[in-house]
Amino acid sequence: MEPTMANGSSSDIISWFEDVSENAPSVQTQTLRRILQLNFSVEYLKKWMGEVSIEDMEDEALESLYTSLVPLASHADFEPYVQMIADGEKAALITQEPITTLSLSSGTTDGRQKYVPFTRHSSKTTLQIFKLAAAYRSRIYSIKEGGRILEFIYSSKQFKTKGGITVGTATTHYYASEEFKIKQRETKSYICSPEEVISSGDYKQSTYCHLLLGLYFNDQVEFIASTFAFSIVQSFRSFEESWKDICNDIRDGTLSSKITIPSVRKAVLDIISVPNPSLAKRVISKCVELEEMDWFGLIPKLWPNAKYVYSIMTGSMQHYLTKLRHYAGDLPLVSGDYGSTESWIGVNVDPCCPPEKVSFAVVPTFSYFEFIPLNRSENEDGKSAIDDFIEGDPVPLSNVKIGKQYEIVLTTFTGLYRYRLGDVVEVVGFHRNTPKLNFICRRKLILTVNIDKNTENDLQLVVEKGSKILRKARAELVDFTSHAEVVKNPGHYIIYWEIKGEVEERILEECCREMDASFVDHGYVVSRRSNSIGPLELCIVEKGTFKKIMENFIANGAALSQFKTPRCTSNQVLLRILNLCTIKRFHSTAYGP
């Protein structure tokens, strides 16, 4: 089965998904058959499956043969093949279809960017999940035809490998694809910004123009969107500083001298060149009020017809929900869909569900999915040891159980076979016969010194407890990350905070103690009590530090719409920036002096 979806109305698209969800087990085996039929003769599969004929094999027998012969794999297993493709190898190594484009991960976690195959299939599934998600949203939030979307989207720079392969972020490839043009033609709403703004390659100039054009069309904007919540928060923080210049441009029909890229200047001036002093006056009046309210409710105040804010808000994006709600006021926050650079996975079929509780229904035509059961071992006190997972044998989509946690394994149309994604998910229900997943964390993103193991999710909960104390002091946690320092003995956790507002040192000391005491992992608690892990260290970094980190990775090929602040890092470049920008250090006394 090809990963096709019905064209036409929202009801047609939803009917298609209801059908494939109802028949998810058989759709999955057909998806696997199609992947193998397309790529059976490639070098990677021949290495494991030999010359076995699969044409007359029953679906279940084929599924069993494939999972018994082809081993579970990680990115390291595919890296030599992908590197040969990047260097110009023309042989069919992982896909029969030539790979001419590679996606580039940001590399913010460990400082190492990786190549991931990107094909026409990648663009098709992106368009498909956009249509499907939009159809479900339209059942709850009615969007006016001919309206606009204020969408903070950005392309990054592309480059060629020595073998002539185009490399860039997955979002950049999609924005350059025919599928994105189809989306632009078929959607009921239109993005405020022209292509020149999206592809400028300078996120500061693009953000300014997104905001300017969003305000120019403010009465027409139906919703606010971006790939990640971070981009929206970052853009409105920028607006707090630039709104006066934007209003001057609207009033005079001009464009700030900060916008220096000729193609961007021309494209924007072609839209706003007629002065609009009445609009500028209204916006100025609202901004003066908003400034006095610390910009609470900025979005509905400036975009009165917006129905919701739409973005990926799970995982590492959860931290930005507090600030996003501050800007959104009473406007609903709708979580975007679940995917990775390697494959789209699930769609949000319940758009009215709060981001903290959202789940995603697996789309069974996008890839062949397996799930590694993860059973948590228990300590002597009966509590689960965080990330002490006992792995079971991988099971197909049809065999997952509600309430159980799994690691996702992908077999994709783009040349990845039994690829361990590293995402831990919980099955929270079913949409007909396809599972609904709640994203829990990334397995490898853990803080650990010796026997302690704390995931990104655990860290998020700890930081939230510490930041509650901060909020009581009328200050704001802008962003954070962490590092397990193991060079010195005993090793210890370092948490880096960038904060907005003046805070007394005694308050920060209390925040530090609270976080240290809030880790519930048995290994951490025991190690802290025995001093085999040292006191938690809280480092306060100067204003703009996380912006410097973002700019560093954008300079290395990441796009703003792709960038995610890593919650735990061993990246030496990132750590160097953090340590150079640290202005205060505190050590916990939660377990004694």
Instruction: Quote the pLDDT of residue 381.
Output: 44
pLDDT in tens, 385-407: 444 567 888 999 999 999 999 99
pLDDT in tens, 166-184: 887 776 776 666 666 666 6
Count CB atoms within 10 A of the CB of residue 326: 18
Instruction: Quote the pLDDT of residue 105.
Output: 67
Q: Edge to edge, what strands does the sheet with 115-118 contain?
A: 115-118, 101-104, 166-168, 159-160
Please report the DSSP string for 373-415 in residue order: EEEEEE-TTSPEEEEEEEE---EEGGG--TT-EEEEEEE-TTS
Q: Is the pLDDT of residue 491 over 90?
A: no
Instruction: Quote the pLDDT of residue 349.
Output: 93
pLDDT in tens, 209-223: 999 999 999 999 999
List phi, psi (to 5°) of 421: -75, -30
Of the ranges 47-51, 397-401, 510-514, which one carries the lowest mean pLDDT score? 47-51
**Interatomic CA distance for residues 174 and 183, integer angstroms:** 11
The token pair that represents 567 in the structure block: 């919650």
Domain ranges of the chain: 1-141+342-444, 143-160+171-331, 446-587
pLDDT in tens, 551-583: 887 777 666 666 778 888 888 888 999 999 999
* 332 three-class SS: coil
Helix, strand, coil tally for the chain in percent (to 5): 40, 20, 35
CA distances from 349 to 132, 212, 356 (A): 9, 32, 15
- 486 vs 224, which has greater pLDDT? 224
| CA-based nearest residue to 120, from 60, 179, 44, 184 | 179
Q: Would residue 557 be called left, alpha or beta, if left means φ above 0 and alpha means ψ between -120 and 50 degrees? A: left
Instruction: Quote the pLDDT of residue 250.
Output: 95
pLDDT tier for residue 452 given thresholds of 50, 70 and 90: confident
Q: Is the pLDDT of residue 230 over 50?
A: yes
Query: Across residues 52-61, what is the average pLDDT?
Result: 80
Q: Is the pLDDT of residue 94 over 60?
A: yes
